[in-house]
Amino acid sequence: MNQPTTKVVFWGVRGSTPTTQPNAWRYGGNTACVEVILSNGSRFVFDCGTGLRLLGNEWEQSSFGRSLEAHVLVTHYHWDHIQGIPFFPPFSQSRNKFHLYGFQSKFVGPESLRKVFDAQLASPYFPVGAAAMGSAREFHEIDGGERFEINGTYVSTCWLNHPQGCLAYRLNTEAGSVVYATDNEPGVPEFDENLRQIASGADVLICDSQYSPEQLATTRKGWGHSSWLECVKLARQARVRNLVLFHHDPDSTDTVIDGFLYAARQEFPATWAAMEGMSATIQKNSTEVAMASSRIAQRQRVHVEATVSGLSDSGARFEEKAVIRDINFQGAYIALEHRPALQSQIQVQLPIPGSTGSETLALRGTVTRADPSSQEARIGVAVVFAEDEDRVRARD
């Protein structure tokens, strides 16, 4: 009998507002939306940011006309968590059914989530009203501290410290546990304790890490968000298995997020930075993280020797002579003997054509895939290079 599984897929990972700047391409620019798929067929969705559109497109393509049913858990009603509602095709299909959960806001009143849903489709903000959304929709009003059951999955909630309120959710499934705790600023003992309790022992903790520790202590204090350092502290205190940094600031480039991830992994090695298309599959006592293959660009075939150094998935440093199979200005595909850790940084030293042999081009990259290769029984490693300004020439 197959073990039960819980798969977590990231469709939107940004906070505040979407971003399309080229130097944020790798992690992605859509706002908050995370899908959870259980092996018993149950589907959950955390938040309805612009990533919801991508999820809807995927569901439409994979359903082949079959009906869909899902449970949508909304943390709060700020724009970056509801922007995707008008652009989610499954809401328009009468064969589908959705159960939507949210709290009663003192600024909106009873049936807050229903009113927020309708407002996203109201004139003059959108040309098609909620009445045209043909799917069946049931709205459930919940509160912090509640615990309820959906198809054998136990859902827990707690309040977070965020302007106008925000809920964290925990899903306890047959395979393991997922905690979604975005939009939270640490420092208020009551909220901090709530979060420690709901995160305790989680297999995957998705945590707001929008700002640097320095920003959180100064210019962003009181804005309702957290930092990678506070996420690490929480992960340690709650003894979670995997920490996922989430709700990236729209002004944070891929290189900035790389820096947050690198710093966090020094303190808590089982840390990941949320990336659009990334997934985490939970089975009993194990979690496997996979990157998005769609983020690997087309490259030109080559056969170039290089020196590669980095951190293996066992945590050991390595340096080896390697062969680059494909390359372009954005990244490369390299055959390695060592398997580097996903999302770790590696250094690639390339000889400069036409030089005397004493010069090399030093490139810094981030590992996006590491799969067994059919070539020479090596590991095929996909790397995305840092921005041009980080590339330097080095002498031996």
* Average pLDDT score over residue span 32-49: 97
268 vs 359, higher pLDDT: 268
Alpha carbons 291 and 193: distance in angstroms, whole number = 32
How much is the mean pLDDT over the chain? Answer: 91
What values do phi and psi take at 291, rounded to 5?
-85, 170
Q: Amino acid letter at 99?
A: H
**What does the pLDDT look like over 267-324, one tens digit per residue?**
999 999 999 999 999 998 899 999 875 444 455 677 888 999 999 988 899 999 998 8
- Quickly list DSSP for 188-256: -HHHHHHHHHHHTT-SEEEEE--B-HHHHHTTTTTSS--BHHHHHHHHHHHT-SEEEEESB-TT--HHH
329 vs 364, higher pLDDT: 364
**What does the pLDDT look like over 80-119, one tens digit per residue?**
999 999 999 999 999 999 999 999 999 999 999 999 999 9
* Average pLDDT score over residue span 39-59: 97
Set out the domains of the chain in order of their start, with CATH numbers: 6-290 (3.60.15.10), 296-395 (2.40.10.220)
Length of the chain: 396
Q: Percent of the chain having pLDDT more than 90?
A: 77
In the predicted structure, residue 193 carries a pLDDT above the cut 70? yes
* Average pLDDT score over residue span 181-189: 97
What pLDDT score was predicted for residue 385? Answer: 85
In the predicted structure, residue 374 carries a pLDDT above the cut 90? no
**What does the pLDDT look like over 121-163, one tens digit per residue?**
999 999 999 988 999 999 999 999 999 999 999 999 999 999 9
What pLDDT score was predicted for residue 279? Answer: 97
Q: Is 201 left (phi over 0), alpha (psi -120 to 50) or beta?
A: left
What pLDDT score was predicted for residue 293? Answer: 58
1 vs 245, higher pLDDT: 245
